[in-house]
Every structure is written in C-alpha cells, then in structure tokens.
Chain A
C-alpha cells in the first residue's frame, strides 16, 4: 500500500481566514514533506519532517506553519494568506532509510484558492 491521503481536496479561503491542510500515511514512513505546485511548474519543496522533527524549512513565509503530531500525520496551518499562495499543495512521504532508493510517494493534493 503506497497511499497518502490529503484533506480537503479543495479549499477556498479569504486572506483573513485561518485554515489547515491535513495529510496522513500508514506506510510506516518516517519522513513527510509539504510541496507547493503552481500551474505548469514542478513541485517546490516547503518543509521536511524527519522522525517527527522539522529538518528542512525552505525559507517559507511564516503564514505557513507546519505541524507533525505523530509519525502518520502532517498538518499545514494557513493564516493571512495572499492570492499568490493559490496553488496545489502536495504532501509526500518516504522511508528514512538513508539508502539510495528512498522514494517519495505523493498524496492527491489540496487545491487552494485564496480570494
């Protein structure tokens, strides 16, 4: 089973709203990722959690706040977003094997629109 689930599938929010994106995996993976993808562009890494600790933050604005409550769950809290933050937000997970074949599996994504 290589399933990563994300909720909600679609989200529309105003610039003053607070919302959260959720991601879940039950593959026993110990690394989880948030990516942002704009149309016609590749995924752009935002955050990496390894063993539930934040290991990489790609200089993401503080209006995006990640949280990893346990090894299966990853949240992305959103606050005071801008219209240019509208994008497809992708969650991924992988084993933290350290081996060359450590593969990331993506969830279906959340399509976010900021009005």
Chain B
C-alpha cells in the first residue's frame, strides 16, 4: 500500500473553472501536509502547507485537511493555463528530526483556454 496516494491524471479543466486535487495518506501520525507545483523540467515550488483540520486559503488556492479521513486536498479557483503543471502532495513523517517528506506520485493538471 502506497503511503501517499494521488490520482495521476491528467486532470483537465477549462479556464476559469475550479480544479480539485486530492491526496490520501496512510500514516495516522502525520503532522504536516504540503502541496508543491512542478512545471515540466523545473523543480518543485511550494504552494501551501497545512497542519490543522479545516481549510486554509491563500489567494486562489485553498488547502483542506481532514485527519480523521486521512485526506488532504487542494482547490484552485479561477484556473488559468499557467496553472498547468504537476501537483505533488507531500506528507511529513511523524517524529522524525529533519522532516522526511513522503511524496505522492503527483497529479498532472491541464487548464484549457
């Protein structure tokens, strides 16, 4: 069983729509959850982190965390073609100095003009 699971996609949405990216994790002790965006050939870029149950909003991005369901999601409102990228969900392993991250396989998002 994979520790962090994401749908690989591709997820295709029209410009201006809401893109919903989902991630589940297996370690119930996980404390911190991160979303990174990675353009083709580039390095991962942090979008948001969340560690409390509920929603966290930053501009067009909203991260949602439900620890009981071991589920974290990222919503992108008013999607733009420039949002087309692979989105990586990462979970910080509990009780580990230095913070080992476990990455999901990534979801490829395509925003069509």
User: Which A residues are closer than 8 A to B by beta carbons?
Assistant: 2, 31, 33, 41-43, 45, 48-50, 55-56, 88, 90, 94, 96, 98, 100-109
Please name the residue on chain A nearest to B104 by beta carbon.
Answer: A42
B16 is an interface residue with CB less than 8 A from chain A: no
| Inter-chain contact A50/B49, CB cutoff 8 Å | no
Q: Do A104 and B106 have beta carbons less than 8 Å apart?
A: no
Chain B residues within CB distance 8 Å of chain A:
31-32, 34, 36, 42-46, 49, 51, 88, 92, 97-101, 103-106
Q: Is the CB of B98 within 8 A of A103?
A: no
> CA–CA, A33 to B103, complex, Å?
14
Residues of B near A56 (CB, < 8 A) are 98, 100
Chain A residues closer than 8 Å to B34, beta-carbon distance = 103-104
**Shortest 7 CB-CB contacts between residues of A and residues of B:** A42-B103, A100-B51, A50-B98, A31-B98, A100-B31, A106-B43, A48-B98
